[in-house]
Amino acid sequence: MTAATLAGKNVVIIGGTAGIGLATAIAAAEQGAKVWAAGRSEANLEKARTVANGKFEVRQADTHDAEALQKIFEEVGTIDHLVSAAVGGERTLKPFLEQTDEQFKAAYDKLWGYCKVVRTGAPYLAADGAVTLVSGSPARKIKPAQSPLSCVGASVENLVRCLAVEMAPIRVNVVSPGTVDTAMFDFMGDEKEANLNAMTTTHLIKRPGTSGEVAQGLLFVMNNNFVTGTTVDVDGGRILS
């Protein structure tokens, strides 16, 4: 039995210039896909261009900018795999009753961004194409002060199930990472490694994950033509701990 690969496929990754998205772009290109990785941060774009080194395309786009998204989609033509791993919104991590309406609503910019990516990209998807989004383990493993993460993640996962039904035979899936060592935690400075290790001491796998490990989850659902409407957890057992 020959393992499926992305060889010859057109893959577009929004939020593909950093973290999990960039790791997915690298992995997809290594499988022979033609990849377009898009992001909004100029700093991340420059880093991604260096990493890409001509192996995949890097473009600037925000999940909320339909015009920029459509420009990329038109360049690609037919999209075999449309991925969005962009955060797309600000999350205020403190108890719900201490947040303003504006702070809580801002977290949902991730969901609205995903909606715009899918709506704008759908006309360009191949008949046997696929959409893959990224949520997060707080969607089902709830801790205090994480209500924005939990509610938005759960909304993304339910959106994927709705889209899988409505867009069939196009496949739609979501990957849910746990605690992953990305730039999101760089604000911790020299304490980052110690803090991440402390955050994962109760997990079944007692360490933070890597962007590359989560990217393998994305590649699994992209390559497996019998998977749709599914949430794939890549979380070191966080939701079971």
CATH code for the domain in which residue 119 is found: 3.40.50.720
241, part of any domain: no
Residue 181 lies in a domain: yes
- Residue 238 in any domain: the answer is no
For 9, the token pair is 């496929």
- Percent of residues, the chain, with pLDDT higher than 90: 87
**Helix-helix angle 211-223:19-30, to 10 degrees:** 50
Whether 239 is in a domain gets the answer no
- Residue 1: pLDDT over 60: no
Rounded to two decimals, what is the model's pTM?
A: 0.94
Lowest mean per-residue pLDDT among 140-154, 176-190, 221-235? 176-190
- Range 77-103 average pLDDT: 93
Provide the pLDDT for residue 215. Answer: 98
CA 229 to each of CA 97, 184, 216: distance values in angstroms, whole numbers, following the listed order: 33, 27, 18
Q: Report if residue 5 sits inside a domain.
A: no
**Residue 103, domain member (yes or no):** yes
Confidence of residue 225 (pLDDT cuts 50, 70, 90): very high
- Measured over the CA atoms of residue 189, residue 150, residue 227 and residue 206, the dihedral's sign is positive
Share of the chain above pLDDT 70, in %: 98
**Domain assignment of residue 3, yes or no:** no
Give the model's confidence band at 190: pLDDT under 50 very low, under 70 low, under 90 confident, else very high.
Answer: confident
Sheet of 231-234: strand order equals: 57-60, 34-39, 10-14, 79-84, 125-134, 171-177, 231-234
Number of domains the chain is built from: 1
Residue 213, domain extent: 10-233
Q: Which residue has the tokens 């599914």?
A: 230
* pLDDT tens-digit map of 125-157: 999 999 999 999 999 999 999 999 999 999 999
Alpha carbon distance 156, 162 (integer Å): 10
DSSP the chain: -PPP--TT-EEEEET-SSHHHHHHHHHHHHTT-EEEEEES-HHHHHHHHHHHTTSSEEEE--TT-HHHHHHHHHHH-SEEEEEE----S----S-GGGS-HHHHHHHTHHHHHHHHHHHHHGGGEEEEEEEEEE--GGGTS--TT-HHHHHHHHHHHHHHHHHHHHHTTSEEEEEEE-SB-SGGGGGGGGGHHHHHHHHTTTSSS-S-B-HHHHHHHHHHHHH-TT--S-EEEESTTGGG-
What is the b/e burial string over 115-148, where b = at least 16 CB atoms within 10 angstroms of the residue's CB? Answer: bbbbebbbebbeeebbbbbbbbbbbbbeeeebbb
What's the confidence (pLDDT) of residue 129? Answer: 98
Q: Is residue 64 situated within a structural domain?
A: yes
The Cα 79–Cα 37 span in angstroms is 13
| CB 38, CB 9: distance < 8 Å | no
